[in-house]
Amino acid sequence: MTIFKRALSRRTVLRGVGTALALPLLDAMVPALSALSKTAASPKKRFGAVYVPNGIAMEYWTPVEEGIGFELTPILHPLEDFKNQMTVVSGLRGYWTPAHAGASTTFLTGAAGVAGETAPVAGISMDQLLAREYGRETELASLQLAIDSRANAGQCSGGHSCVYTNTICWRSRTTPLPMENDPRLVFEQMFGDSGSTDPETRRQRMKRDRSILDSVTHKVAELRREIGPGDSLKIDEYLEGVRDIERRIQRAEERESYEVPSVEQPEGIPATFAEHVRMMFDLQVLAHQVDLTRVSSFMLGREVSSRTYTDIGVPDAHHPLSHHEYNPEKIALMSKINTYHVSLFAEYLAKLGSTADGDGTLLDNMLILYGGGMSDSNSHSPLDLPVLLLGGCGGQLKGGRHLSYPDDPLMPNLLVSLMTKLGVPVNKIGESDGRLPLEPLPGV
């Protein structure tokens, strides 16, 4: 590690025309007097939630064995490389009344059902509890991302407001947060200098300059004179990641000028589901890499989604297929969708695992909650929810285990326990009635 006489500020930003480009953790950000006693870049705990809709083909999801040494099921097989940093959690019970609307609403809030409410109401979600604390040290308190467009007007599930199916994040009991699905808008939120120009001005600047990096080239050159070769390599890798996402967004926008879309799409949204998901995951990697935020939430689909997956051989609409009436062939098709989602998630984990963060990686310091608010989709079951925990949480979480809990403990009890692991302890989330023990037991 190189020791510097003058340390760079952790909040160093390269400013250009309509651009505020944050930097990843660098050795040069460690004060010279403390460099010998501290790691190159002290890692911070981070949280991510990834939500999947419409239930799971549970017979293809749940491992047979409990404890260590369990065999991966077909749906979980794409996570083989991350088994040692994965905990499968079985036996948890959701707390809600209406089917799909309650499933997504309670995932991070642990709130009771929304039946009969005329205005949206739930409870503050786990991610926003963390954002209140972590957001004191980051530019963005949290990111809320999705694949489906926002459509909060009208009713989407059992006569309930579309708000419930379109977000998993709630700032307060009556304030649901919108989930953004346009990569261009997320990119601008992350890298545009909102203090000097409005979004439309930034958009025009990007069309003119083609890249936000063009306006900070001289700043990068100046920075290189203050950092060592190791930091210079980190900068190169980071800037190439920014440029790659920018190119992909531009290609998506350019396609719209010569393709005749079958449906109207918002600007900057890729043509395929996989490309869209990968871009949104990559934006999250960048956001965590430069410490723009330490809290991200992502919906791979909204509840009651009728998306088709013809690219993997599933032409059936997702939601109707989820009501499979226990037909083995339809359940097998459901499992293909579930496996596809997990495989895209595995790509995200691989990038987190290859991105340096202090003496480890982003994956080492993150805690990621992956799953849904419904298990058996045919019966809209809130029992035995599909839940995975990924990442090391800064050494606070032991992986390589399948924890199966008896007596149907509440899902929000897990959320309370995770808050402690993340260094923001709380006594209660939603309808929690205790804490879920996560410490390793003998033989487990």
- The string of DSSP letters for 25-45 reads --GGGS-TTTTTTS-SS----
Q: Residue 441 CB: number of other CB atoms within 10 A?
A: 9
% of the chain exceeding 90 in pLDDT: 56
Q: Please, is 39 exposed, middle or buried when counting C-beta atoms within 10 Å of its C-beta (0-12, 13-18, 19+)?
A: middle
Q: Please, is 15 exposed, middle or buried when counting C-beta atoms within 10 Å of its C-beta (0-12, 13-18, 19+)?
A: middle
Q: At CA 430, angle to CA 426 and CA 436, rounded to 5? A: 60
Find how far residue 8's CA is from the centre of its chain.
29
Distance CA 202, CA 134 (A): 28
* pLDDT for the residue 98: 62
Distance CA 131, CA 369 (A): 16
- For residue 220 the two structure tokens come to 């990068």
Q: Which of 79-93, 104-118, 183-197, 413-427 has the lowest mean pLDDT?
A: 183-197
Q: Which of 51-60, 117-126, 251-260, 382-391 has the lowest mean pLDDT?
A: 251-260
Q: At CA 144, angle to CA 143 and CA 146, rounded to 5? A: 135
Q: Which of 51-60, 194-203, 427-436 has the lowest mean pLDDT?
A: 194-203
pLDDT tens per residue across span 110-167? 987 565 556 678 899 999 999 999 998 888 899 999 999 876 545 576 677 788 899 9
Distance CA 391, CA 367 (A): 5
Pick the CATH number of 43-181+295-438 from 3.10.50, 3.40.50, 3.40.720, 3.30.160: 3.40.720
- Measure the CA dihedral 144/147/153/159, to 10°: -100
Q: What are phi and psi of 91, to 5 degrees?
A: 95, 0
Average pLDDT over residues 35-48: 66
Distance CA 85, CA 292 (A): 24
Choose between 174 and 386: higher pLDDT. 386
Most confident of 269-278, 365-374, 431-440: 365-374
Q: Which of 263-272, 279-288, 411-420 has the lowest mean pLDDT?
A: 263-272
Per DSSP, the chain holds a count of helices (H) and strands (E) of 12, 15
CATH 3.40.720 occupies which residues in the chain?
43-181+295-438
- DSSP annotation of 410 reads B
* pLDDT for the residue 274: 96
Mean per-residue pLDDT of the chain: 83
Average pLDDT over residues 256-270: 48
Average pLDDT over residues 424-437: 95
Distance CA 60, CA 339 (A): 9
* pLDDT for the residue 393: 95
pLDDT tens per residue across span 65-118? 999 989 999 999 999 999 999 999 999 999 766 688 889 999 999 987 565 556
- Over 60: is that where the pLDDT of 49 sits? yes
- Over 90: is that where the pLDDT of 411 sits? yes
Residue 57: helix, strand or coil by DSSP? coil
Q: Please, is 243 exposed, middle or buried when counting C-beta atoms within 10 Å of its C-beta (0-12, 13-18, 19+)?
A: middle
- For residue 123 the two structure tokens come to 């409870």
Residue 3: helix, strand or coil by DSSP? coil
- For residue 104 the two structure tokens come to 């997504």
Residues 6 or more apart in contact with residue 258 via CB below 8 angstroms: none
Distance CA 376, CA 63 (A): 16
Residue 342: helix, strand or coil by DSSP? helix
Choose between 214 and 50: higher pLDDT. 50
Determine the angle formed by the axes of helices 183-191 and 199-209, rounding to 10 degrees: 100
Average pLDDT over residues 26-38: 55
Rounded alpha-carbon distances, angstroms, from residue 222 to 230, 232, 241:
16, 12, 20
Confidence of residue 269 (pLDDT cuts 50, 70, 90): confident
Helices (H), 136-212: 163-166, 183-191, 199-209
Residues 6 or more apart in contact with residue 280 via CB below 8 angstroms: 145, 147, 181, 183, 186, 298
Q: Which of 17-26, 133-142, 168-177, 365-374 has the lowest mean pLDDT?
A: 17-26
Average pLDDT over residues 6-21: 62
Residues 6 or more apart in contact with residue 334 via CB below 8 angstroms: 55, 56, 57, 321, 322, 324, 377
Dihedral sign, CA of 117, 120, 123, 126?
positive
pLDDT tens per residue across span 285-330? 999 998 889 999 999 999 999 999 999 999 999 999 999 999 999 9
- Beta partners for residue 314, in sequence order: 309
- Over 50: is that where the pLDDT of 264 sits? no
* pLDDT for the residue 45: 95
Average pLDDT over residues 346-357: 96
* pLDDT for the residue 15: 62
Half-sphere exposure of 269 (CA within 13 A, CB side): 16
Average pLDDT over residues 13-22: 61
Q: Supply the pTM of this predicted model.
A: 0.82
